[in-house]
Structure 1
Amino acid sequence: MKLMNLLFTLLTVAAFPLAASEKDDDVIKVVYQCDFPEADRVHLMLNTINNAVEYYNKNFIQYEIDIVALGPCLQYVMKDFNNTGFEEKPYITQGGPTGAGTRSRLKALQLDGGDKIKIYACKNTMDKNHVADNQIEDFATTTPAGVIKIIDLQRSGYAYIKIR
């Protein structure tokens, strides 16, 4: 009888890590399309991301969130506007719920999220607006085409979100 109880306990304990590891592999994946110029929409997008991150962290849920900046939204991941198709606007460095501008909020979000949050800059938009790689913030990674990046992420299981 003791041998049966010991065997049952060992089998139960041995099965537990397998169940736990399966749950750990279940990662929530989200991609945000940022293709709009309005700062209030960017702040709303950042608020929704912050809310999701807070929820996932509080509930020990693994996540990956990617932001793809293309079209007019590219200006939010730029650090230098000289000789480009973009003009620096005051709302890029001002506003938001804490008074921090959109650029600083994006940078803080990416830094706080580490490898869980990635920000991509569309190379097509950069080329059309004469934006060089060194004019993009260090927290952003270039991707050849923003829309293709979004499609590829969706095909690999990412949920798609666009702020209206």
Structure 2
Amino acid sequence: MKKFIILFIILAGSVKAIGQEQVKEKHKVVFQMTTANEDEQKGLIRNITNLLQGWGDDFQAEVVAHGPGITFVTTDSVVAKEVESLAAKGIVFVACESTMEQKHIKPSELLRGISTVPMGIAEIVLKQEQGWSYIKSNF
């Protein structure tokens, strides 16, 4: 019985030590931009900037622009400088190839550093299936 109690104390102590070890994972957020509204696009820039300032290296984000929101990542975007600045800091911006085809937008009309995906909505679904948090950016 005495051996059992000692074994129990040792095991309980090791479980507590293991439980206190926390694996620090990044906050992963996928944002959906579907509006050409300039105020809403500027709002998304502010939100991403705030999260980046608050979480720093513990924050990973991808912005998926499709539908009317494709203007967010084109060369005539009202937030072009901000998008390029955030992209340089590691925020990923992607444009929907389906929307680009429908709106006759050429890859050369996208901002520097913008990637493309075949289907914007499918990209969002895939990110959610991988455990990313989802935010629709129409505030």
| TM-score, L = length of structure 1 | 0.68
Show the 5 A alignment for 1:1-164. 19=21, 22-23=23-24, 26-57=25-56, 62-79=58-75, 92-93=77-78, 102-111=79-88, 113-114=89-90, 117-163=91-137, 164=139
For 2:134 and 2:98, the matched residues in 1 are separated by 21
Letter in 1 for 2:135: I
Consecutive unaligned residues in structure 1, runs of 5 or more: 1-14, 80-87, 94-101
For 1:138 and 1:156, the matched residues in 2 are separated by 27
For 2:44 and 2:72, the matched residues in 1 are separated by 12
Q: CA deviation at 1:76?
A: 2.2
Q: CA deviation at 1:53?
A: 0.6
Secondary structure of the 1:33 match is strand
Letter in 1 for 2:110: I
Q: CA deviation at 1:135?
A: 1.9
Please give the per-residue CA displacement for 1:56-81, whole angstroms capped at 9, x wherever unaligned. Answer: 02xxx5221000010111112112xx
For 1:71 and 1:145, the matched residues in 2 are separated by 11
Residue identity (%): 26
Secondary structure of the 1:157 match is coil
Consecutive unaligned residues in structure 2, runs of 5 or more: 1-16
Q: CA deviation at 1:140?
A: 0.6
The question of whether the paired residues in 1 share the 8 Å contact of 2:34 and 2:68 is answered with: yes
Secondary structure of the 1:43 match is helix
Please give the per-residue CA displacement for 1:63-120, whole angstroms capped at 9, x wherever unaligned. Answer: 21000010111112112xxxxxxxx5xxx33xxxxxxxx1111111111x22xx1000
The aligned length equals: 121
**Corresponding residue for residue 99 of structure 1:** none
Letter in 2 for 1:66: E
Compute the RMSD of aligned alpha carbons. Answer: 2.0
For 1:42 and 1:75, the matched residues in 2 are separated by 9
Q: CA deviation at 1:33?
A: 0.3
